[in-house]
Amino acid sequence: MTDTTKSTQPVIADPQVTRHIMKAFNLRAAKKLGQNFLVDAGIVQGIVEAAEAGPGDRILEIGPGIGTLTQGLAESGAEVTAVELDKKLPAVLAETLAGYDNVTIVPGDILKVNIPELMGSQPFKVAANLPYYITTPILMALLEQHLPITLLVTMVQKEVALRMTAQPGSRIYGALSVAVQYYTRPQIAFDVPPRSFIPAPEVDSVVIVCRVREKPAVEVKSEKMFFRVVKAAFGQRRKTIANAMKGAGFQAEQIAAALEKCGLDSKRRGETFSLEEFASLADALTV
């Protein structure tokens, strides 16, 4: 096991320290990379606690930025692997996180990195202040790959967290709600105001904890068919389930037979379907 020497570096989660680092390295927060750096030590601590981070943990961080959350995670004694897309930042991180021998910085795009190769087959956690322009693709990629993730603790736009936890019948219930709830038990942990970042984002943020289920919430014969049906249902969410599925390429007779077999009304909209109902419909369509 590695000796996790604590650094004598100042706490990065502070407006003055962050401004100083940005000035020293001539950095400007890149909007197109979703760069909003945390400057609130209380929020960093809140994420570390929500991740239940400690010695023996392996944590994948997405987008370490200048090392703000990384430092908090490293201080807990966890082994941190952080993937950063911005090519300028690894050199900055080498200095801001100097002294932490439990941090590995991996330059690259989280959507392209081979995560099984990077993290291996042992359980790990994910912690991140996510870049908001690709929150959904990142969450979907992490969930769909069946990685040995136990806990996902992420800072997301409040509106996205509300979609992740939305229930059937609500206007914001959609494919993201179904996917997140199929794989995990999501729970909003706490609100984070715009002033906790530099620069301040134009939206409200929250930290959401998603505990990965040992088994998905519902059992299905084919996960591929389950998500095909879900995507079809929400692809044209104003239409009835039968019409939305027809629009997505399913045959009318096939849909009618499957809905009847499950005792589901063809006039209902997909947005009213529970995970169990999507599962039974998908199973009826799986040959």
- Does position 64 bind ligand SAM by CB under 6 A? yes
Sheet with 79-84, side-by-side order of all strands: 103-107, 79-84, 58-62, 124-129, 149-157, 205-212, 184-192
- Does position 68 bind ligand SAM by CB under 6 A? yes
- Nearer CB in complex with ligand SAM: 110/279: 110
Closest approach of Cβ 106 to ligand SAM, in Å?
9
Question: Which residue in the set 4, 17, 27, 36 belongs to the binding site for ligand SAM (CB under 6 A)?
Answer: 36
- Does position 63 bind ligand SAM by CB under 6 A? yes
* Cis, bond preceding 199 (omega within 30 deg of 0): yes
| 157 three-state secondary structure | strand
- Does position 161 bind ligand SAM by CB under 6 A? no
Question: Which residue in the set 110, 180, 259, 281 belongs to the binding site for ligand SAM (CB under 6 A)?
Answer: 110
- Nearer CB in complex with ligand SAM: 128/218: 128
Strand partners of residue 129: 155
Q: State the Cα–Cα distance between residues 229 and 234, nearest whole angstrom.
A: 9
Residue with tokens 């995507």, as numbered in its chain: 231
Query: How would you label 198-226 residue by residue, b for 16+ Cβ within 10 Å and e otherwise?
Result: beebeeebbbbbbebeeebebebeeeebb
- Nearer CB in complex with ligand SAM: 36/81: 36
- Does position 103 bind ligand SAM by CB under 6 A? no
- Nearer CB in complex with ligand SAM: 82/259: 82
Q: State the Cα–Cα distance between residues 79 and 119, nearest whole angstrom.
A: 11
Contacts with ligand SAM by CB under 6 A lie at 33-38, 62-65, 68-69, 83-86, 109-111, 129, 131, 134
